[in-house]
Amino acid sequence: MGKLLICVGLALLLHVQLGSSYILSCYFTNWAQYRPGAGKYLPTNIDPCLCDHLIYAFASMDNNMIKTYEWNDEKLYGQFQALKNQNSNLKTLLAIGGWNFGTQKFTAMVSSAANRQTFINSVIQFLRQYQFDGLDIDWEFPCTRGSPPQDKQLFTVLVQELMSAFEAEAKKTNRPRLMLTAAVSAGKGVIDTGYQISQIGAVLDYIHVMSYDLHGSGEPTVGENSPLYKGPADQGQMIYYNVDYAMNYWKSNGAPAEKLLVGFATYGHNFRLASSNTAVGAPASGPGPAGPFTHQSGFWAYYEICTFLKQGATQAWDSPQDVPYAYNNGVWIGYDNVKSFQNKVQWLKQGGFGGAMVWTLDLDDFSGTFCGQGKYPLINTLKSGLGTGASCSARTDPLPPVAPTQQLQPKPGGGSGNGGSSAGSGFCAGKANGPYPDPTNKNHFYECQQGHTYTQSCAAGLVFDNSCKCCNWA
């Protein structure tokens, strides 16, 4: 009996010391800095105790080498890593790729051993230079969107070679090994076409399954963004488009359950209703209106959804799929709330999955001003449900200043506020740091830094709005 009590006591002690066995991984997006007013989001907005892993999205690639994307990425990297001063257990990863990045540069990079080696060497140097703990590969997706069939195997080869190089570098430098993760599709057809599941599952540290965007405004009927189960309106291929099917498909085809992180969305997809029918599967006539902060038709951040609900939208619960929806004045939205996140966490635990991945920090009600549910209501639901982050207690003293890693240089890029070329010091001479409109071109603006002028451009269809100092719809 005495030995039994000692064993039980040791087990309890180990559990307390190790904390939760689950991982909560959260994406930060480097274009959230361009949102107006209360939507603007920077690494300094991040609660350092909220997530176990923070993933910075996105880096780019040129000549098979990883590179920054936004003009001020180096500055934001410093702010991102400074969060570790408040949470010593925090791990930071850098994601490369994304939907807008496409497939062509990935295809070119994996096509030869020499190109892959160039990439791998650049990744190790870059991650160490900017103090990241790992790389997240966000190739959307191998063998689709112009990527040839051989990329299925070459993606596996890339993952294997990256891990071998990370292990060798760690041994050589006596530093902790860099982590390696990947963001992968939740669509059965894309999975079958693009991934050798058991092979990459054996190598990757974690697999971030993007189990959202399962229905969107390009479809002729309204549907849920991230349904837990299939619904009665789902026919044909659509029976695969739910979190339960996607996650179990990855697991049953050889990905270790403990490495699979379930994707959670802090946003929803909206539609315009084509009739008086408001049920799931009702006819739609296209995307709903863009939100005042996210500026993307068919898409609202959770905090924008809260405003829609407060303005009198009818809220409903989609019981078969275990997620909510709402509608008002011909606009319909499928989304997630605290209740659906709680249900998914229980399902996740029962399935033995490794934890949760969130897209994104900046789309939750991070300030707590819109939904009346406190700061980060959705992500905090995951944190409490999974029991993660228990060992972290954020310091109340301000972060120490982070020295810039190098002088700001003009960098070509993309997204809302592309990096541009220096126009010399003429325009910005004597001006305070910050963005200024270009009087000759509404799509362009000037970014002034220490008297130097950098010409920037907004994404296609956007103009520089001086009232919010951001790229906005015309």
Compute the distance between CA of residue 409 and CA of residue 447 in angstroms, rounded to an integer. 11
Residues 6+ apart with CB under 8 A from 325: 222, 224, 280, 315, 316, 318, 332, 333, 334, 335
Alpha helix (H) ranges present in 174-242?
188-194, 197-203
Q: Give first-to-last CA distance, the chain, whole Å.
A: 75
Q: Which of 70, 140, 224, 447 is catalytic?
A: 140
Q: Is 200 helix (H, G, I), strand (E, B) or coil?
A: helix
Closest to 383 (Cα-Cα) out of 48, 32, 50: 50
> Active-site residue 161, yes or no?
no
Count of other CB atoms within 10 angstroms of residue 128:
13
CA distances from 347 to 23, 50, 195, 357 (A): 15, 21, 25, 15
Q: DSSP of 367-423, one letter per residue?
A: TSSSSSS-SSHHHHHHHHHHT-STT----SSPPPP---SS--------SSSB---BB
Sign, Cα dihedral of 143, 147, 150, 152:
negative
308 sits in the region (left: phi over 0; alpha: psi -120 to 50; else beta) called alpha
Compute the distance between CA of residue 76 and CA of residue 86 in angstroms, rounded to an integer. 17
- Catalytic annotation, residues: 140
